[in-house]
Structure formats: structure tokens, C-alpha cells
Amino acid sequence: LTTTPSTFTRTADTTVVVHNEETVVIGGMIGQDTTSSNYKVPILGDVPLLGWLFKSHGDTQRKTNLYIFITPRIVENPAELAALYHKKRDAVEKVHKSPGDVADQFFHPTSDPGQSVALSDIGFTKMQQNDLARAREYFDQALKIDPGNAAALINLGVISEREGKKGEAERLYRQVLARAPEKNAEGAVQADPLREVARENLDNLRGSGGSAR
């Protein structure tokens, strides 16, 4: 017997113009799944009227936010491409080689900031696997290295929302919004897609009955 595994695919198609090394969000998809479950004691749960004493019903909701970020970099020669590849690879390897999955003694404020990005990326993967406890550890470690890591702050906010900690989620989103805007070489303020994500999440939090104002 051969079975084909089920797959779920979400795609985004758009055209954007972006400066070199400037991050842009090309898609943001919010999904919410509701699962209904019924539990009952065999036979007793089917007794008219009294059967409700031996059965229960529960609904579980799961909210997911998927954002696609792209940071283009102009590479003028193979040497630059190789250097960029090795920099990213080394950052990820440093994370994976740490004992105990996440080691406080290995990641400290003077570590390479690239490790913060790598930790945040792994934390996002854990989120996709619904391992929220592990994801929170990675994001916390990323923020110990770089307290201004907006992606880690936003994802921690999403985790807090899932855990029902709306006040904490609001604080994290507002922390992203409080960042000073970045400027390009000409002194013009650059678009900050992470601020837009934080603002959108904050608006959604307000709509769902959070404490955001």
C-alpha cells in the first residue's frame, strides 16, 4: 500500500522595487484553524439527558502569521557571493554546535550579531513546528545578543498572543514601533517593513480585545 503525504502550500506573487540590502515584505498571510473535539464515555455518553454528564465538547483555535521577507544584496563577483554564503553558514553552524541546543554561556552580548539573526531564524522554524517553548528560547537568546532584533520581538509577540498573554504581546510590538527609523546614504528615511508588521499585529490585537490603545 502506497500513500501520498498531504501537503499544504501557500504562495505570494508580487513585484517590488527595493534598494540594495533593504528588507521588504512581499507577502503576509494570516490563518486561523479551529478544531472541534468531542469526548464521551462509551454507552453512558449516549444515554438521553443524563448522557451530558459523561461527555464533553471542546474547541481549539490556532492562529498563524506567515510573513515573507526578502533582503536583496547586489553581488558583483563570485568572491563576494562566497563571502556572503560563508558568513551566513558560519552563523548558523555556531548556533547548532552549541551544547544543550541553546547555551547561555555560548551566546553573550559581545557575540557576533550574525548569531542573533541565525537564532531568530531557527526560532521561527520551531514556531512553524508549533514548538513554542523552544521557539521562545531561541528568540530570547537572539535578543540577548541584539536587543533590537525586530523579527525576534515580533515573533515573541505572536507566541505571547497564542499563549493568551496579550499585554506582553502589546509591549513587544510597541518596542518594535519605538525603534528609531533607519536612513539611507542620502539621509532619507527608509521603509521599515518590520514596523508595518508590528503595527498590523497591534491593530489585530486591538480588534481581538487586547489592551492595545
pLDDT band (50, 70, 90) for residue 99: very low
- Look at residue 11 and tell me if it is in a domain: yes
Is 12 within 8 Å of 27 (Cβ atoms)? yes
* Whether residue 188 sits in one domain with residue 126: yes
Domain count, the chain: 2
Instruction: Tell me how crowded residue 85 is: count the other CB atoms within 10 A of its CB.
Output: 11
| pLDDT computed for residue 90 by the predictor | 74
Domain limit, last residue, from 16, 49, 74: 74
- Look at residue 175 and tell me if it is in a domain: yes
* Whether residue 197 sits in one domain with residue 134: yes
Domain of 59?
1-74
10 Cβ neighbours under 8 A, 6+ residues apart: 29, 66
Question: What's the CATH number where 189 sits?
Answer: 1.25.40.10
Alpha helices in the chain (DSSP H): 78-96, 113-128, 132-145, 150-162, 166-177, 193-207
Tens-place pLDDT, residues 130-158: 889 989 988 998 898 888 889 999 999 99
Using CB atoms within 10 A of its CB, is residue 10 exposed (0-12), middle (13-18) or buried (19+)? Answer: exposed
Tens-place pLDDT, residues 21-64: 777 777 666 666 777 777 777 777 777 877 777 777 777 777 77
Average pLDDT for the chain: 77
The residues pairing with 61 across neighbouring beta strands, listed in sequence order, are 34
The grid coordinates listed for 74 are 547586489
- Look at residue 86 and tell me if it is in a domain: no
In the predicted model, is pLDDT for residue 162 greater than 80?
Answer: yes
Distance CA 23, CA 26 (A): 10
pLDDT band (50, 70, 90) for residue 109: very low
Segment 105-112 shows an average pLDDT of 48
